[in-house]
Amino acid sequence: MSIPQSGGGPIERHEQLAEYLESGCKPRADWRIGTEHVKFGYCRDTLQPLPYDGPRSIRAMLEGLRDRFGWKPVLEQGNIIGLELNGANVSLEPGGQLELSGAPLKSIHETCDEVNEHLREVKAVADGIGAGFIGLGAAPTWLHEEMPRMPKGRYRLMTDYMDRVGTHGKQMMYRTCTVQVNLDFASEADMTRKLRIALALQPVATALFANSPFLEGRPNGHKSWRSRIWRDLDAARTGMLPFVFEEGFGFEAWVEYALDVPMYFVYRDGIYIDALGQSFRDFLKGRLPALPGELPTLSDWADHLTTVFPEARIKKYMEMRGADGGPWRRLCALPAFWVGLLYDDGARDAAWDLVKGLDAETREGLRVAASVDGLQGVAGGVSLHELARQAVTIAQAGLKARAIPGAGGMIPDETHFLNALQESVESGKVPADELLEQYHGEWNGDLTRVFAEYSY
């Protein structure tokens, strides 16, 4: 999850809220790719999650990355809770999941190099302390009570709030992992078209990357339990956002939506101040109960935007949020999928043609079907397998048209990063299907085998 935002003076005009979003518009030459991925750390001998403190811990991981590879520490109340280096960040999810928020890069080649380097560094430190890391969408065997808690004020507030607004919020916080990609837009119109495609095709991403069929040591009845969790987390800040498809949608409509999302906190002088359930609209009038008489700054607005959790969202860039964390190949495949669909004009137009006829009921039905059945899901007469086949084909064409070479020119474009998805389209199987086959087959119901066979 996001670190506190900084910079930006007081908000004196309502228009500044939309202007903040619009300031992210960039010419095509400046479009970049930012990939984020999260993984679970565990003790190799006990297969239990890493605690925050101790010789074999999250703190030891962060300090090892700092000392061996030159990362700069990020502290909160004297505790190391993250790292920074060359535009990238390593941060902690509430249950100690380790997240890389990659630097803004020009190509999938660079993105995959960054992923490789990060996982190499993580493994080097983890091996030294007897830890391992695994990429799954949900913790396969651990109970909520077994999860450690990270020393971050934001998470303490969120944990206390989750049971008030939904039934699955703490599962999301402590026992899930994702991979997502952040992309740029050129204008309000470009943002609108991209966001509509992103939301409409998010169920395809959920299906292709479904990798969380287990919870608490047994199958849970879903290919992506992580996606299931998001459906009963907090209706005020999640979902498929039908209003995005309405005529006239733009930055101001997003502002009005975000203003209706209840607040979590205000960050002041290193402290998260409890504003749970309070209104940013009141904050704009100096009537926030948590800080009576005080007006928000643009950094407060930026912080608030990080607490909005739909399937795709905008800040100064756009985030695709629907995919489970997973194996290495899919960490590179997710940015390839979305870049292929959205960064080439022809591909973007073809992607819109693919989804523009879907109504809100079908889009939501596909979201549910993807979490339950993966590529075998169907809603409103639409097959996710067929939709995925067409979307991957469009993405391949988009990457081919970009024609960005790698490996010193030895690789002509970025299309090979979609190979894992093409294999899924051809076979109809996603990672969850393979995991379930092994669980019911050679593992004979012993889910602890997943750690040895699927760790990085």
Could you count the other beta carbons within 10 Å of the beta carbon of residue 37?
27
- For 253, residues 6+ apart whose C-beta sits below 8 A from its C-beta are 243, 244, 246
The answer to whether the beta carbons of residues 121 and 127 sit under 8 Å apart is no
The answer to whether the beta carbons of residues 216 and 147 sit under 8 Å apart is no
Q: How far apart are CA 320 and CA 100, in angstroms?
A: 15
Give residue 16's identity as a one-letter amino acid code: Q
Q: How far apart are CA 144 and CA 44, in angstroms?
A: 19
**What's 448's DSSP letter?**
T
Q: How far apart are CA 224 and CA 311, in angstroms?
A: 14
The answer to whether the beta carbons of residues 21 and 190 sit under 8 Å apart is no
Q: Which two tokens stand for residue 268?
A: 């002041």
Residues 327, 228, 223, 449, Cα dihedral to 10°: 60
**What's 5's DSSP letter?**
P
The answer to whether the beta carbons of residues 377 and 227 sit under 8 Å apart is no
Kindly write down the DSSP assignment for every residue of 371-428, as one continuous string.
HHHGGG-EETTEEHHHHHHHHHHHHHHHHHHH---BGGGTB-SSGGGGHHHHHHHHH-
Q: For 196, phi and psi rounded to 5 degrees?
A: -65, -45
- Topology adopted by domain 15-261+308-454: Creatine Kinase; Chain A, domain 2 (3.30.590)
pLDDT tens-place values along the chain, 456 residues long:
555 665 678 999 999 999 999 999 999 999 999 999 999 999 999 999 999 999 999 999 999 999 999 999 999 999 999 999 999 999 999 999 999 999 999 999 999 999 999 999 999 999 999 999 999 999 999 999 999 999 999 999 999 899 999 999 999 999 999 999 999 999 999 999 999 999 999 999 999 999 999 999 999 999 999 999 999 999 999 999 999 999 999 999 999 999 999 999 999 998 999 999 999 999 999 999 999 999 999 999 999 999 999 999 999 999 999 999 999 999 999 999 999 999 999 999 999 999 999 999 999 999 999 999 999 999 999 999 999 999 999 999 999 999 999 999 999 999 999 999 999 999 999 999 999 999 999 999 999 999 999 999
The answer to whether the beta carbons of residues 314 and 23 sit under 8 Å apart is no
Any idea where the domains of the chain sit in the sequence? 15-261+308-454
pTM: 0.97
Q: How far apart are CA 303 and CA 261, in angstroms?
A: 12
